[in-house]
Every structure is written in structure tokens, then in C-alpha cells.
């Protein structure tokens, strides 16, 4: 049976038919310009008893009543960051039962790393290097969110970030193109249920921010981007292409500009590349009031001019500013915006609503009973725990301090991140209840047979000392057998508008670490962060360091699982850790330059800083386990790779330790001579390999000419004959190279 919206619109004779393009065009022909502009308008949710309601005059409608009235009038197409099946049904009822055209409304959210159940932040999830896990997390998020009426997720963020100062790096998959591509595609598949968008538990994915936003100058959010077209195409566009190839039918244009052209009016990107070269058929939505910001950029005279430029450049929908709603009808009436362009944008929006099944089942995602049944399920919490376990990266483990014995040792848990409920879930958690998250203290206590052997001392605040804090921490440290320092960044130090000049542990916490380390007891650092940090002093010199990011709802349990050895850490860095803040932007796939620094002591007149070697503190791909893995040298199936053939590279790995582990084996390639300078290494593939104690296994990778392509001088992809180096290694700086030649 057809949905209510279609039945009311088309009548009984057409109710059994599919809502096809002809019917969409017929619907558009019935719309006024104001209703068309309404279909291109996305606004924020409001509720009864909004703060603004306190100031309204007697008899005036509430904020919620005003929003429902606008939906009935066809002035709103979509609403974001409102939740609840019952709330969503009110909006949908206004749209499909009470409006003239009966067009369903689209409910959207920012579910960046979970909806009600919070998973590790995306950068932490990328540290798992587990693409299948990322898809499962996105799928679980979609199931939970869709049960509350959500059909559209304003995620994933697929911005590649190579400057650790940029706060929004926490939302992406790190610094590498291949890793970002694979996670982008996995997240889209999970949200969209492998493109079964009409299913009630699927939601539309929106890769963002198109494109190159992660290259903001100085790592400063909202800042200018200066990129060559080659770098844009080779580094920053591929994750978007992977997301679209996986089926994403929406994309968000960024706040930023590239080379003087704001993303909102970059017609070559939005029309020529996105729709022309790639054949994208979905909708382009602005970021939050980004159309208005064109005035501040200085490319639009006023808001009206901003709307004209945005719609003509290819932005189909405006978020929150209501400028499309306000100005599009008059721009069309004046002939400044062709009616055909307005109709084109509306058609795209209606097609997406059709793909989501909203015309057939406008209330399909809006069941309070289903919402209650599918929120915070044991299965989702279990997945959150696994995701958190696999995100943890062991950076250091001197003298095999970890894992700690579960009993018999007095543990002093010290630091501002020992407890909760704040700073567990991380930034971008719009719908979480912090009380659901498990703190480090709670996780360790639950895992220890005698919780009396755990003492907890704050020691300092996040960015300021506290009276008597260090003295209390010293007393706890002296009474303990081992010190666990829970330190790092707060969740408000990462995310949007949270760029940092000094990517270090805050001074108050660094002073705490120095004081406690001087006691002379073994120290384990639990480093909470949304970015790569430059570590120093007692933190850098600690016996063991676990990078615990922001792990979400199951933070404490997952950390305890790793600290006490129930789980061997398997996370690997998706970003390079610099030695000092002044070394950023630092990324492994850098160019050699004409004066590369040799290994060993610093040398004058080479590409290095006078205070540092050219190496990172911890390399991209680095991560330790509770065992040791020995890598054999790579063996190639041949010394030459035929132009239209393939070549196999394999290596033998041996677990020389006493614990079973899962190793992330990484394949890197370097093009020795090319018409365009190439990075010193590029990740081309990776595999997860489980090894029992003492076990040896071969891992093999296939290489073809496609793996060796780059963007040439004519901005087209090409591969060139010549010599290549290949590594099979545990990180981007390890391993022994083998060589082969690509032959035409």
C-alpha cells in the first residue's frame, strides 16, 4: 500500500504506482516559487518551551507552533538535530496530512560517532584500522537514530587532516589517503545499509566538508586553504570519491575557501568535478549558515547576492540561514536565477526523499515503541566496548610493565580524567547522556578483585592546578606500587573551533606528571586526546603510554580490558606524532626535497629544524601489542611488474612472544623517479593478521599499475615506467625495502 503522502497527493488511481520522475516533475509543476524555496530550506529543530517562548506575548504561538505552521505552509523541507519518534511524528503529520502538497519532511542529525550510544570519536575508530568494524558502528548508529525518526545523517566527516593543530581532525580518519578512503566508504555503507535507503533502519550519509577543509592554513578552523589542484585531486578529493562510489547521495559544502574561491561558490568543484566528472546525482547542502558567510568572505555584496551565487554554483539546500527561503522567489522573478535551476535543485531533494522511502512510508522511522526497543541495547553497548578496545594504541611499554596484574598491586590512579561523567564521550555528541559513560575509575574498580587496592586522586584540573592537588597526588603515588596517570585533553579542546597552537599536555597536568614521576614508581600514562600531541618530559618518558583518545560509552571497561591484559592492544596510529609543536604539519607521506636530511646526527643545509631530527616521535601506523612480531624481508614474485599485469609482495611474520596478537601489516611504495616528485612512502594496502604465540604466517599483497598512479602535469592520473621500492612493515618508517620495475 502506498504511503499517506502519495495517496493524498496522487489519488487512489495512482496510489499503487512507484513515485517516479514523471510524478516528481508533476509535483514540481504544482509548486509556487515559495514552496520550491521551502524544499531547499533546512532549519534547526525547536521544541515546546523554548527559551524564546518566555518572551512571547500572550496569544502568540510558541516556537514549536511556528515551526509546524511553516511546515504546513511548505516553507521547510528538513529539520535537523531534533530527536524522538513522537516529536518527529508531529512534524511529519504537519507535512503529509496538513500541507497543501503533502511532501514529507526530512529529519536529520549530526550523529558523528553514535546517536544515543556513543562510540569512539572517528579518529580513534580509524586507529583500529578495522574497516569492517567502522561499518558495523555506522550501522548500529543508523539503527538507533532511525528509530527516533532520523532519515539523514550529516556525517561522515571525510576531511583528510595533516596538521594536528586543527581541531576537526578528531572527526576524520587521519592523515592518509588510503585509510581515509576506506573508512569513508565503510561509514557510508553502514549508515545507508548498503544503499537500502528505503529501509526504516537506514539513513542518508553526507560526506563533508567539500572539499579540502582539512588543509586550513595554520591548522586554524574556518581559515583559508591554499592548495594546488594536483594536491586537491591527489590527497583531499579521493575520500569524497570513495564515499560517493559507496552510494552517498548528499554532500556538504565547507565554510572555507580555496585559492580565493569559497567552497559555497566553487562551481568548478560543485558542477564540473562533482557532477560532471563523477556523475554525482544527490544533493549539495551548505554548512551552517555558510551562504551568509559569503558576505564576510567578501565575495557577496549582501545575503541576496550570496543566495544567487550559491544556487548558481550548485548548492541545492541552505542550512539554518533561511536565505534561500527568503530570497530565491524574488531572484527567480527577476530572472537572476533561472526557474530551471530552482526546479533542478527541488527535483534533487525530492528524489532523495523518494530514495529514502518517505513518500511511501512517511512514518516508517517514527515508532516510539521501536525507539525504546532499539536504544541502548546490550548488543550496541557490547559493540561500543569492542570499538573502544580496538581504538587504544599502545605507544610505549618499557620493561613490559603492561599488562598490570589484576590483583596484589596497589594502583594509584591520578589525574583529572580518572573520573566522569564529562570528557569520556568526546566532542560532537549531541544526543548523549553523559551518565551512561563508564569512567576509568569505574572500569578499573569493576575489573579488580579488591577495589580497595585502587586509590583515586585528581591532582590537578585540566588547565589549572588545584590547591593541595600535587601534595595529595604525591602521597598517593608513594603509597602505591604503580601509578596510572589519566591526563590529556578535555573534549572541549578538540572539535569545531578548537584549534590549538600548542598541541601539548596542558601545563598544569604536565607539572603533575613531573612531580609524580619523581617518586620513582612505575608510571602508566593513559593519554586522552582528539589529535596527535607533542609529548615531553615525564609524560614522554613514562614506562608505558596508552593512547586512549575519547572512547565513548564504554571508556572505562575498554581501558581496563587492555590495562589488565584481557585484550592485547591492537590499535595503530592514523596520524604521526610530532616531536614538538613546531614540527607540524607533519605527515609521513612527505616529499624528499632536494636536500633530504640523512639518518643520524643533524646536518647543516638539509630539510630539518635546528633543534630536531626529521623523524616523528611516533610514526604513522605505529602501535605495540602484548607480544613481539618479527617481520621478514619482503619477497617479490618477480623483479618486474608488467604494464597490464600484477606482482605479489609477501613477507613472513612471526609472533616471538607469549601472547596471541592481531597485527596490522602495512604495504608502502615509493616511486623513485617520476615526472612529478613523489612522497617518500605511500600506503597502498593493509591487512589484519592474527598470530598465536610462536606462530609464523605469510602475508601477501598484490600490486598492479593502478596502485602506482599519480596525478600528472596535465592533472590526469598516470603511471610511469621505472623503479619502485616496496615495504611490508609495522609502520611508515620501519622495514627493509625490496625493489621492482614497472615495465610498459
Res 11 pLDDT > 80: no
φ and ψ at residue 28, rounded to 5 degrees = -60, -40
Provide the 10 A C-beta neighbour count for residue 640: 13
Q: Which of 130, 163, 199, 287 is catalytic?
A: 287
**517-565 pLDDT, tens digit each:** 999 999 999 999 999 999 999 999 999 999 999 999 999 999 999 999 9
* Per-residue model confidence (pLDDT) at position 601: 78
Specify the DSSP class assigned to residue 375: S
Do 393 and 571 touch, CB atoms closer than 8 A?
Answer: yes
d(CA 355, CA 285): 17
How many Cβ atoms sit within 10 Å of the Cβ of residue 143?
A: 22
Domain coordinates of the chain in residue numbers? Answer: 1-103+338-376, 377-572, 629-743
Cα 720 to Cα 191, 445, 743: the distances in Å are 38, 59, 9
Interval 343-364 mean pLDDT: 97
From the options 3.90.1170.10, 3.30.365.10, 3.40.50.1700, 3.40.50.1970, give the CATH code of 377-572. 3.40.50.1700
> Quick check: helix, strand or coil at residue 616?
coil
> Is 287 designated active site?
yes
- Whether residue 144 is predicted with pLDDT greater than 70 in this model: the reply is yes
579, three cell numbers: 616531536
Closest by CA position to 670, among listed 735, 601, 603, 617: 735
pLDDT at 721 over 80: yes
Q: Three cell numbers at 280? A: 554525482
Distances, alpha carbon 179 to alpha carbons 21, 186, 258, in Å: 37, 11, 24
Confidence of residue 638 (pLDDT cuts 50, 70, 90): very high
Q: Are 100 and 9 in contact (CB under 8 A)?
A: no
DSSP 405: P
Cα(269)–Cα(118) distance, rounded to whole angstroms?
Answer: 34
Whether 5 has a pLDDT exceeding 70, the answer reads no
Dist. CA 502–CA 218, nearest whole Å: 12
Whether residue 168 contacts residue 495, with contact meaning beta carbons closer than 8 Å, is answered with yes
To the nearest whole number, what is the mean pLDDT of the chain?
95
Give one DSSP letter per residue of 528-566, joined into a string: E-SS-----HHHHTSSEEEE----GGGHHHHHHHHHTTS
Q: How far apart are CA 484 and CA 345, in angstroms?
A: 56
Quick one: average pLDDT of 91-101?
97
Burial class (CB in 10 A: 0-12, 13-18, 19+), 175: buried
Cα–chain-centroid distance for residue 215? Answer: 15
Residue 10 has pLDDT above 50, yes or no: no
Identify the DSSP state of 497.
T
Interacting residues of 162 by C-beta distance below 8 A, sequence separation 6+: 175, 214, 215, 585, 586, 587
Which among 665, 662, 698 has a CA at the least distance from the CA of 684? 665
Which DSSP category does 270 fall into? I
Q: Distance between CA atoms of 695 and 635, rounded to whole angstroms? A: 19
Going by pLDDT thresholds of 50, 70 and 90, the confidence category of residue 18 is low
Average pLDDT for 186-197: 98
Q: List CB contacts of 136: < 8 A, sequence separation 6 or more.
A: 190, 383
377-572 and 629-743 share one CATH topology? no
Phi-psi region of 517 (alpha: psi -120 to 50; beta: other; left: phi over 0): alpha
Beta carbons within 10 angstroms of residue 320's beta carbon: 17
How many residues are recorded in the chain? 744
For residue 524, with 0-12 CB atoms within 10 Å meaning exposed, 13-18 middle and 19 or more buried, which class applies?
buried
C-alpha dihedral (304, 308, 310, 314), degrees to nearest 10: 160
Whether pLDDT at 36 is above 90: yes
Give the model's pLDDT for residue 50. Answer: 72
Domain 629-743 has CATH 1.20.1250.20: no
Q: What is the mean pLDDT of residues 306-324?
A: 98
Local structure of residue 583 (DSSP, 8 states)? G
Amino acid at each position: 500500500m502506498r504511503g499517506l503522502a502519495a495517496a493524498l497527493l496522487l489519488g487512489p488511481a495512482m496510489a499503487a504506482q512507484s513515485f517516479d520522475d514523471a510524478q516528481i516533475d508533476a509535483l514540481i509543476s504544482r509548486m509556487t516559487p515559495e514552496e520550491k524555496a521551502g524544499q531547499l530550506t533546512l532549519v534547526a529543530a525547536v521544541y515546546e518551551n523554548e527559551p524564546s517562548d518566555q518572551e512571547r506575548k500572550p496569544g502568540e504561538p510558541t516556537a514549536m507552533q511556528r515551526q509546524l505552521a511553516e511546515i504546513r505552509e511548505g516553507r521547510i523541507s528538513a529539520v535537523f538535530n531534533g530527536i524522538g519518534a513522537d516529536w518527529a511524528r508531529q512534524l511529519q503529520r504537519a507535512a503529509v496530512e496538513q500541507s497543501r502538497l503533502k511532501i514529507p519532511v526530512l529529519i536529520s542529525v549530526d550523529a558523528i560517532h553514535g546517536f544515543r550510544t556513543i562510540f569512539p570519536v572517528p579518529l580513534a575508530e580509524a586507529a583500529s584500522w578495522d574497516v569492517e568494524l567502522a561499518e558495523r558502528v555506522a550501522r548500529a548508529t543508523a539503527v538507533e537514530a532511525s528509530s527516533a525518526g532520523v532519515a539523514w545523517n550529516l556525517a561522515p566527516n571525510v576531511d583528510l587532516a595533516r596538521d594536528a593543530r586543527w581541531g576537526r581532525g578528531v572527526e576524520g580518519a587521519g592523515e592518509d589517503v588510503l585509510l581515509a578512503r576506506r573508512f569513508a566508504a565503510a561509514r557510508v555503507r553502514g549508515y545507508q545499509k548498503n544503499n537500502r535507503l528505503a529501509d526504516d533502519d537506514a539513513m542518508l550519509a553526507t560526506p563533508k566538508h567539500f572539499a579540502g577543509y582539512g588543509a586550513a592554513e595554520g591548522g586554524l578552523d574556518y581559515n583559508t586553504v591554499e592548495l594546488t589542484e594536483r594536491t586537491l585531486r591527489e590527497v583531499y578529493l579521493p575520500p569524497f570519491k570513495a564515499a560517493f562510489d559507496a552510494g552517498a547521495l548528499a554532500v556538504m559544502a565547507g565554510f572555507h575557501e580555496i585559492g580565493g574561491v569559497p567552497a559555497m561558490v566553487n562551481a568548478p568543484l560543485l558542477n564540473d568535478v562533482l557532477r560532471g566528472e563523477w556523475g554525482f546525482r544527490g544533493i549539495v547542502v551548505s554548512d551552517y549558515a555558510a551562504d551568509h558567510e559569503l558576505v564576510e568572505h567578501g565575495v557577496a555584496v549582501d545575503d541576496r547576492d550570496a543566495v544567487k551565487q550559491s544556487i548558481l554554483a550548485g548548492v541545492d539546500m541552505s542550512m539554518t540561514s533561511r536565505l534561500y527561503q527568503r530570497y530565491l522567489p524574488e531572484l527567480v522573478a527577476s530572472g537572476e536565477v533561472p526557474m530551471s535551476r530552482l526546479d533542478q535543485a527541488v527535483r534533487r531533494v525530492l528524489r532523495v526523499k523518494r530514495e529514502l522511502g518517505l513518500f511511501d512510508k512517511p512514518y516508517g522511522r517514527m515508532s516510539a515503541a521501536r525507539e525504546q526497543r532499539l536504544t541502548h541495547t546490550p548488543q550496541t553497548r557490547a559493540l561500543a566496548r569492542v570499538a573502544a578496545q580496538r581504538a587504544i594504541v599502545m605507544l610505549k611499554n618499557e620493561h613490559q610493565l603492561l599488562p598490570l596484574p589484576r590483583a596484589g598491586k596497589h594502583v594509584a590512579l591520578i589525574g583529572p580524567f580518572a573520573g566522569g561523567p564529562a570528557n569520556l564521550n568526546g566532542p560532537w555528541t549531541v544526543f548523549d547522556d553523559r551518565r551512561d559513560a563508564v569512567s576509568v575509575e569505574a572500569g578499573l574498580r569493576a575489573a579488580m578483585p579488591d577495589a580497595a587496592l585502587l586509590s583515586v586522586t585528581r591532582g590537578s584540573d585540566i588547565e589549572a592546578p588545584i590547591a593541595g592537588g600535587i601534595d595529595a597526588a604525591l602521597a598517593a603515588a608513594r603509597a602505591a606500587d604503580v601509578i596510572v596517570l589519566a591526563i590529556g585533553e578535555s573534549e572541549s579542546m578538540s572539535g569545531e573551533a578548537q584549534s590549538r597552537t600548542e598541541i601539548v599536555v596542558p601545563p598544569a597536568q604536565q607539572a603533575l606528571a613531573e612531580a609524580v614521576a619523581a617518586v620513582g614508581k612505575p608510571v602508566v600514562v593513559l593519554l586522552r586526546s582528539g589529535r596527535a600531541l607533542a609529548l615531553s618530559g615525564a609524560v614522554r618518558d613514562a614506562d608505558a603510554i596508552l593512547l586512549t583518545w575519547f572512547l565513548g560509552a564504554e571508556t572505562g571497561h575498554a581501558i581496563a580490558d587492555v590495562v589488565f591484559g584481557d585484550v592485547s592492544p591492537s590499535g595503530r596510529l592514523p596520524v604521526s606524532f610530532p616531536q614538538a609543536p613546531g614540527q607540524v604539519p607533519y605527515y609521513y607521506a612527505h616529499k624528499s626535497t632536494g636536500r633530504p636530511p640523512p639518518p643520524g646526527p643533524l646536518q647543516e643545509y638539509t630539510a630539518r629544524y635546528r633543534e630536531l631530527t626529521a623523524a616523528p616521535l611516533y610514526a604513522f601506523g605505529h602501535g605495540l601489542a602484548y607480544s613481539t612480531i618479527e617481520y621478514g624481508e619482503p619477497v617479490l614474485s618477480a623483479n618486474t611488474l608488467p604494464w597490464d599485469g600484477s606482482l605479489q609482495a609477501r613477507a613472513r611474520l612471526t609472533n616471538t612472544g607469549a601472547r596471541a596478537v592481531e597485527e596490522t601489516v602495512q604495504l608502502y611504495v615509493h616511486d623513485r623517479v617520476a615526472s612529478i616528485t613523489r612522497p617518500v612512502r605511500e600506503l597502498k594496502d593493509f591487512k589484519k593478521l592474527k598470530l598465536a604465540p610462536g606462530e609464523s604466517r605469510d602475508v601477501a599483497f598484490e600490486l598492479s599499475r593502478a596502485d602506482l598512479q599519480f596525478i600528472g602535469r596535465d592533472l590526469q592520473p598516470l603511471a610511469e615506467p621505472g623503479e619502485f621500492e616496496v615495504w611490508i612493515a609495522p609502520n611508515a618508517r620501519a622495514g627493509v625495502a625490496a625493489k621492482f620495475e614497472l615495465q610498459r
